[in-house]
Structure 1
Amino acid sequence: MSTPPRIRPVRADDIPAITAIYGAQVSSSVATYEYDPPDAAEMQRRMQALLDQGYPYLVAELDGRVVGYAYASSYRARHAYRFTVENTVYVDADCHGQGVGALLLEALIEACTARGFRQMIAVIGEAANAASVRLHTRAGFRVVGTFQGIGRKHGRWLDTLQMQRALGDGDAGAPFDE
């Protein structure tokens, strides 16, 4: 990849590419514990729900083609967690290892910090996913725990790794709306 992809906010016409990228991960990997690839209508519904709640949703575009996407979502539904987000990053298999994920995650961190979020959690669907662990470590995340054998997919039990990174001042002070 000679020119870096452009990172921009998601648009409705990105849904077919997002659906294809995610569908491939659902079918062939344990990066997600979902079993059946959702269709474009469901991916559109999920995207819109996040945008309606004020979370950032970004895509990486290279030569007019969406090659990855990232978004933030609520870490947990309870009100006390409102300053903590969970990140999601997926990259087209043809672009793995080319820095697309790092660009998306960096932009997502900036967007979440600008919105006043104070912590970001990465829930890595397989503790042995070295690429995802490396991506998050380079972005300032640290391992905070491993849940052993809590998922089962493709005939095997899976450990789930959680990593955490402070955003802005993190927990060093009260947030803006308290």
Structure 2
Amino acid sequence: MDSFPPPSRATVRPLVAGDLPRVAEIFAPFVRDTQVTFEEEPWDASRWDAKRRDLAAAGLPFLVADVDGVVAGFAYAGPWRPKAAYRHTVEDTIYLDPRYTGQGLGTALLGALLDVLRASGVRQVVSVVADVPDAAGSLPLHRRFGFAEAGRLTAVGFKHGRWVDTILLQRALEAPTDHETVSTTLV
């Protein structure tokens, strides 16, 4: 199992509709102020709701880290590519409110996400990380979970007046064995 315990006052759980305004609030500064995401306009709660519904229809998880009733971060897995042959491969996404970094929440979210994906039959997880200082924590986080660099795409994004490379990371998942269990707090 890849899970690590979250901080004692944190819970990783499935996103509910009431979490969407907070998800939008966490994501917006990354869009406006960084090159971590290539989105150029922040999403409102209704756009996040459409994302939530699309992921649910595809059977893919959308999780939040809840600290004392406050959503401190989120993670989800989306389809890697739309072609049918890619149906067992997903791309992960994780964002934390900067006030909650360094508390193990990214570790808890990624561990829980991988557990759910493994149980659902996903075989490959890809992470696309912008090669910018603001994303520096994403590489060691993914490497701790066994992701390996699979390549680099040079100057594929242009944001805030600068061309940005992305680093592709990949991790194979195996189906859980009979003695492994998936955390019941995520079901």
Q: Same fold (TM over 0.5)?
A: yes
Q: 1: distance between equivalents of 2:136 and 2:21?
A: 28
Matches within 5 A, 1:143-158: 143-158=149-164
Q: What is the SS of the residue equivalent to 2:109?
A: helix
**Of residues 13, 21, 36 in structure 2, which corresponds to 1:8?**
13
Matches within 5 A, 1:1-178: 3-126=8-131, 129-168=135-174
| Structure 1 gap segments, 5+ residues each | 170-178
* Counterpart amino acid of residue 35 in structure 2: V
Q: What 5-or-longer segments of structure 2 have no aligned partner?
A: 1-5, 176-187
Secondary structure in 2 aligned to 1:24? helix
What is the deviation of 1:130?
2.1
Using the alignment, how far apart are the partners of 2:49 and 2:43 within structure 1? 10
Give the CA deviation at 1:49: 1.0
* 1:62 to 1:83, Cα distance in 2 relative to 1, 3 A: same
Read off the aligned partner of 1:96 and give its amino acid letter.
T
Give the TM-score normalised by the residue count of structure 2: 0.87
Misfit runs of 4+, over 3 Å:
none
**Partner Cα separation in structure 2 for residue 132 and residue 24 of structure 1:** 17
Alpha-carbon separation, structure 2, partners of 1:48 and 1:97 = 30
Provide, for residues 131-164 of structure 1, a one-character-per-residue CA deviation record: whole Å limited to 9, x for no partner: 1101100111000100010101111110001000
Secondary structure class of the residue paired with 2:92: strand
Mapped to 2, the partners of 1:130 and 1:2 lie a distance apart of 22
Q: Percent identity?
A: 40
Higher RCO (CA-CA < 8 Å; seq separation 6+): 2
Given that residues 86 and 123 in structure 1 are in contact (C-alpha distance below 8 angstroms), is that contact kept between their aligned partners in structure 2?
yes
Q: For the Cα contact (< 8 Å) 1:87–1:121, is it kept in 2? A: yes
How many residues of Structure 1 are paired with residues of Structure 2 in the alignment? 169
Superposition deviation, residue 30 in structure 1: 1.3
Asked if 2 retains the 8 angstrom alpha-carbon contact of 1:127 and 1:161, the reply is: no
Cα 1:77–1:167 change in 2 (3 A) is same
